[in-house]
A and B are shown apart, each in its own frame.
Chain A
Amino acid sequence: MKKGCIVIGLAVLLALCSCGSEPVTPTFDEALLVGEWIDSTLHEKYLPEGIGTTWDTYDDVTEEEADTFNWSFDGSRLIQEHHMVVGIVPRILTVTKLDPDSLVYQDSGGLLHHFHRNVMP
């Protein structure tokens, strides 16, 4: 009985301790984010001033027809705020890799998105 109580107590402590803990994540240079990134047919373009656009040529969408969003970047947390006619759709993304050539982030569903920088003018 005593042994059982100890196990429960440890479990509760474990549970209490595990709640609210934040994982340690790397930080990246925001300046590297600015530019156009391509994942297959998907394009994302990060402009200074926190403005961005995205379009997917698979769906016959051109850059001129791209959706706009606001973005902010805090070390590794990238937030896209897509504005609809009415309402907004925010995305919280976790950047796992960012260098001059590549960008990798993970969406809220845990899916990794791999981009390479578009060096074409």
Chain B
Amino acid sequence: MKKALKITGITLASLVGVILVLSTIALAVVTSPKRLTNLVKRYVPKYVDFDVRLQQANLTLFKTFPDIGLELDQVAIMSPMAGAPSDTLASIDKLTLSADAKKFLKEKQIVVKKLILDEAYVNLFTNAEGHSNLDIFSSDSTKTDTTTKPFDYSVALEELKLNNSTVFFNDLRSKLHAAAIGLNADIQGSMNDDDIQAVLGLQANSLRLQTEGLSGAIQQLNLGFDGDFKDYNHLHGTLQVGSPDLTLNAGYEVLHHDALNVKLPVTLDLDPLGASLAMASIGLNDYQITLDGNVIARDTNSYNLDMTFATNTLDIEDLMHYLPEKVTKSLNGMSFKGKAALTDGKITGCYNDSTMPLITAKVNATDATIGIPSLPYPFKETSLSTLMSIDLNDSINAKDIQLNTKLNRSTIEANGDITDLTGTMDLDMNLKSNLYLTDLKAFLPKNMKLNGHADAKVKLQSKLDDLMKTVNTLQFNNKMKADANINVNSFDLAMDSIHAASPLMKLTVATPTAQRKGLRLGLTTTSLTATAGPKINANLSDLNLEANADRLDKIESALTNATLNLSALNLVYDTIRCDAVSPTITLATTPKNNKNLNVSATLKSGQLNASAGSGYQLNTQSIAVAASARQDKSKDASDFLNHWNPTADFALNNAQLTVANLDEKVIVPSIDFQFDDTGLDFKKGSIKLGKSDLNLKGKVTGIKEWMADTKNLMKADLAVHSNRLDLNEIMDLTSGLGVKRDSTEVEDKNVEGDPFMVPEGVDLDFKVTANKALYRNFEFNDLGGNATIKDGTLMLREIGFTNEAAQMQLTAMYQSPRKNHLFLSMDFHLLDVQIYDLLHMIPEIDTIVPMLKTFDGAAEFHIAAQTNLNAKYDLKMSTFRAAADIEGANLQVRDIASFTKITDMLKVSTNGLYKIDSLDIQLTAFKNEVDLWPFQIAIGKYKATLDGHYNLNKMGEYHISITQSPLPTRLGLKISGPLNNLSYQLEPCKYPNLYRPERRNDTEQMVMQLKKKIGEELRKGVREE
């Protein structure tokens, strides 16, 4: 800049010198323009060493009166230079110079007072090496004056004018290109030894500027300065710059045909250096910024600033147009409307190479609207007030922020400070919101509907980076501090079939502190109801939830604990209902170093009532569940048990189970069992039903393997013990249980039942023992045996028991290969049983062996039966099979009338004794047909062989053959007809030799072999003591 001024000064001085020479010549010769022109051309080289050309010189006396003037036409200063657009430095259509005539005439001194350039064309050029075509003037000062100069000259300009000129400036080194077209300038003033007073007026039709990354154009530029420069030290005046059309592009369109209006009343002192602005204004279109204050130099390149500034009201939407495109793009479509103003602006402090002054200003925005594309509603009625503090030595801060805005119907209020806006953005904010939850619709899944009204208060202290990191990762540490209290009224959430509602919920959220790790969540409500579809319903009363979590993004990596207290919990699932009084639920998770998670949970409840329809109801005084899980990520997540390795302890005390149609309640004094990776361990389990009790103990193993692959066996080794089993009571209580069949209902054969299907892939072994068992009028002792479920077979294996009447053993099997094809088998042995007791114990035997009731006494009874059943447990008669073996001796005859009738007809003398010495019966049933295989009875000296065939409809036919008698006759008797109304008819003896091996025919031999086989096969099932 200094160099440019120097060159300009030298240029002007040179021009003036040239003009003076010309003037002198003109004056000297006072002659014609031609002569004057020749003189000028001859003398110019004496004063300058560059090529100056002119067409004609004229002397003026009157035009510049009272001064003497010289007019030069078509002046050209040549400065050829490689790369320059022209070899002409300046081309001036007319150059007029006036000098003080008095001094010229008296003192032969030329004092230039006025210089006028008309239609000058100036071409300034600097090449890439920094050489300028103005350099032709630079040697002027060092030029040795070797010629005789007719005059001295000096410059005392009072006016310098430039009319309709054009200036081009091209600097290849700085890549600066400028052009001023239609340039008019008028500088008037006075300068003496002490002061300069000047009025500057400059207009340009067009001023263009272009440099690297920046281009601009000003149309109709009007620049003026009116002031003085006293003592060459104190500058005082007013600078005004105006243009109706200003365009500036800095890679983006900064200004686009905007109007500029600048007024700078300035006072400048050079020593000491200082400046002040008094109500300066800079205006762009309708926007004004006013500046007031002063700048004082402390030393070289160091200044103290003390200024105030303010703006008028700004249109934010319009101002957005002046933002760089990069900034606009970064706003991602956000839109801003409204008014804003800066007031009470201050610039104070020192400015130097290392220090910047502090800038403060109040920012006030009113009635602003902020649109964010991702939100369904804009922030409306937004007002913002803050004190901006721009300390470029340190940070930019916004203090005393007061923000109010509306999001649809919701209002948001924010107060606080933001420190270091361009750096870490430390937030210290208090937020209040009156939030209608429907306004959150855009943030929720499409299938979620949220209603309600929330009053939220949030206190936030955090760096923006920590806040965003927390929001994005949902991991919490004490770098971000936030406390939130949210009261939600009329909360109502609907998502698909899920619905939750609460009249009032209070939610508290607190981020971790140095003393406390994890995010703390609190939720209290007097009532929370939730439904999932038509079947699931939950009511939670006086809910109090406290939870801590250090992260929410990955629960498997989270350190969490939660406690849920309720005064009452009511759960309904379909027909199942559960009501708990004062339940407490806790949950804790602990991530391990290897990223596996440990989870523990407990449930404690006081009174708990549960029901399943109207059929079952469970009431317990207390229930406790303690569960935990250890994650093992090396196992696939679908393999639940191996992935989580769950363990659980269940304890239930003083429970009562009520079953519909069951007059007695099932009392459960206590059940305590544990589940872990080895299986299910029933530590204690006791049940009382009426007079009966049951105690369960043992383990179920292989559960994990069975769930992973049902081909693996789940094994159970359980012991079920009862001190007393009242089977009569149990059977009475459970008879018809669950069956709701109208007696008038016509059975539909096609209606499928819902039978018990024996699980496969399990090996369950129940060791059943009972000290006493009551059945009908019989008391059984020492009942013991096994019940197993294995390979799809439920089996009661060799259940043995004793009573006064007999020693008994029962084996039964149940299979369910398919729903409508079940299989039932039983194998029952009664040793040394009294027949009378047997028939009382098992009256059904009378159906199969009706004749047995004729006798009484000790016998041994073995029976086996099997059949298939349909889904409703109805017998498939075509598959019914049964076999029985009865052996007795010294039996008393109970049906004396029938006995007497038979013996009389068969001429058997009983001598008044109604006794059978021995019998050995085998009978078989095939479908509904029963075969009583031929057997022999002994009555004193008589022996008889009997057989029979009857069906389960009680139609039968018997035959009695007298095979041994003191009499010679061997009579036979046929007894046939309905069993309750038999007819008796003599017939030939059918089995004279059956019990005489030596006389048996082949058929009789075969019959005896089969009889023997029937008996032997049945006895195979007897457990050896």
Contact = CB atoms under 8 A, between A and B. Distances in A.
A18 B881 contact: no
B1018 interface: yes
Given A89-B925, A91-B926, A42 B883 contact: no
B211 interface: no
A82 B1018 contact: no
Interface string B919-942: 000001110010100000000000
Contact of A87 (B817, B929, B993, B1014): B1014
Given A92-B1007, A109-B949, A87 B877 contact: no
A86 interface: yes
A43 B951 CA distance: 21
Nearest to A17: B988
A60 B811 CA distance: 27
B876 A19 contact: no
A108 B947 CA distance: 11
Contacts of A42: 878
Contact of B868 (A59, A84, A86): A59
Interface string B875-887: 0111101110000
B638 to A, nearest CB: 35
B931 A86 contact: no
B881 A89 contact: yes
B933 to A, nearest CB: 9
Contacts of A91: 924, 926, 931
A85 B813 contact: yes
Contacts of B524: none
A62 to B, nearest CB: 8
Given A22-B1001, A59-B879, A109-B929, A12 B924 contact: no
A20 B1017 contact: no
A59 B867 CA distance: 11
A10 to B, nearest CB: 12
Contact of A18 (B817, B866, B988): B988
Contact of B876 (A18, A60, A108): A60
B949 A108 contact: yes
Contacts of B990: 19
A6 interface: no
A79 B1009 CA distance: 12
Interface in A71-91: 77, 79, 81-82, 84-91
Interface stretch (B58-66, B819-827, B893-901): B819-827
A61 B883 CA distance: 22
B1003 A77 contact: yes
Given A42-B878, A89-B925, A90-B1013, A108 B931 contact: yes
Of A65, A77, A90, the most chain B CB neighbours within 10 A belong to A90
B821 A61 contact: yes
Contact of B881 (A20, A82, A107): A82
A89 B879 CA distance: 12
A87 B864 contact: yes
B825 A85 contact: yes
Interface in A48-103: 55-56, 58-61, 65, 67, 77, 79, 81-82, 84-92
Interface string B974-996: 00000000000000111111000
A109 B927 CA distance: 13
A19 B925 contact: no
Nearest to A56: B878
A120 interface: no
A60 B629 CA distance: 48
Contacts of A110: 949
Say which size band chain A's interface belongs to.
Answer: 35 or more
A24 interface: no
B968 interface: yes
Given A15-B969, A65-B821, A89 B882 contact: yes
B294 interface: no
Contacts of B868: 59, 61, 65
A79 to B, nearest CB: 7
Interface in B158-195: none
Contacts of A59: 868, 870, 876-879
A90 B881 contact: no
Contacts of B827: 85-87
B866 A84 contact: yes
Contacts of A90: 924, 1010, 1013-1014
B926 A84 contact: no
A84 B826 CA distance: 10
A45 B881 CA distance: 18
A59 B874 CA distance: 10
Interface in B851-874: 864-866, 868, 870
Contacts of A88: 883, 924, 1013-1014, 1017
A42 B879 CA distance: 11
A5 interface: no
B830 to A, nearest CB: 15
B583 interface: no
Nearest to B821: A65
Nearest to B870: A60
Given A19-B961, A59-B877, A60-B821, A84 B929 contact: no
Contacts of B1018: 86-87
A57 B1003 CA distance: 33
A15 B988 contact: yes
A16 interface: yes
B972 interface: yes
Contacts of B870: 59-60
A119 B15 CA distance: 139
A74 to B, nearest CB: 8
Contact of B970 (A19, A65, A85, A87): A19
A43 B169 CA distance: 120
Contact of B1017 (A15, A86, A109, A111): A86
B863 to A, nearest CB: 8
B999 interface: yes
Interface in B999-1025: 999, 1001, 1003, 1006-1007, 1010, 1013-1014, 1017-1018, 1020-1021
Contacts of A82: 881, 926
A79 B1006 contact: yes
Contacts of A15: 969-971, 988-989
Given A22-B1001, A56-B878, A82-B926, A87 B951 contact: no
Given A15-B989, A56-B878, A107-B929, A86 B1020 contact: yes
A41 to B, nearest CB: 8
Interface string A6-44: 000001100110111010000000000000000000100
14 contacts: A15-B971, A15-B988, A59-B879, A61-B868, A65-B821, A77-B1003, A87-B1018, A89-B881, A89-B882, A89-B924, A89-B1014, A108-B931, A109-B931, A111-B929
Given A19-B961, A59-B878, A90-B1010, 15 more contacts: A11-B969, A22-B1003, A59-B868, A59-B876, A61-B868, A61-B878, A67-B879, A79-B1006, A79-B1010, A84-B825, A85-B827, A86-B864, A89-B926, A91-B926, A109-B950
Ranked nearest first, the 7 interchain pairs of A and B with the lowest CB-CB distance are A56-B878, A19-B992, A18-B988, A19-B989, A87-B864, A59-B876, A86-B827
Interface of B: 811, 813, 817, 820-821, 825, 827, 864-866, 868, 870, 876-879, 881-883, 924-926, 929, 931, 949-951, 957, 961, 968-972, 988-993, 999, 1001, 1003, 1006-1007, 1010, 1013-1014, 1017-1018, 1020-1021
